[in-house]
Amino acid sequence: MDGQAADRIREVVLRMELGNLGDVKPVGEGVSERRITFGPGYRIYFGRDGDEWIILLAGGTKKRQQRDIEDAKTNWANYKARKRAETRAKKTTHKPSGRTPRGKEK
């Protein structure tokens, strides 16, 4: 990728960060694709976490599109699994046992 293409892609990502998603379509399993009409047909793949489109999963060109979509879906599934595990871990470490400590019975 040359410098001009990298600049264009950075510009698109900045616009997305500001809420202008542009030419986006869902590709399945919670993953969306942002097409960039420049060069060999660059694509950015991302997912939605809550109210925000924040997770950049993969990027590529039209030529590798199907492979990139599969990679993005795998990355998204891995992200969600890690997040679920972290949420469960927080719940178990902060969950009161409901038992009264020894020597503190009423």
Transcribe 53-103 into DSSP letters: EEEEEEEE-GGGHHHHHHHHHHHHHHHHHHHHHHHHHHHHHH----PPPTT
Locus of tokens 């038992």: 99
Mean pLDDT, to the nearest integer, of 41-63?
85
Mean pLDDT of the region 21-50: 92
pLDDT mean across residues, the chain: 86
Dmax over Cα atoms in the chain, in whole Å? 75
Q: Name the nearest CA neighbour of 32 among 51, 10, 59, 5.
A: 59
Residue 50, classed as helix, strand or coil, is coil
Q: Which has more confidence, 22 or 2?
A: 22
* Domain residue ranges of the chain, discontinuous segments joined by +: 3-94
- Provide the pLDDT for residue 45: 94
Predicted local distance difference test score (pLDDT) of residue 10? 92
Mean pLDDT of 47-55: 79
Average pLDDT over residues 69-78: 95
What residue type is assigned to position 103 of the chain?
A: G
Has residue 17 got a pLDDT over 80? yes
Residue 53: strand, helix, or coil: strand
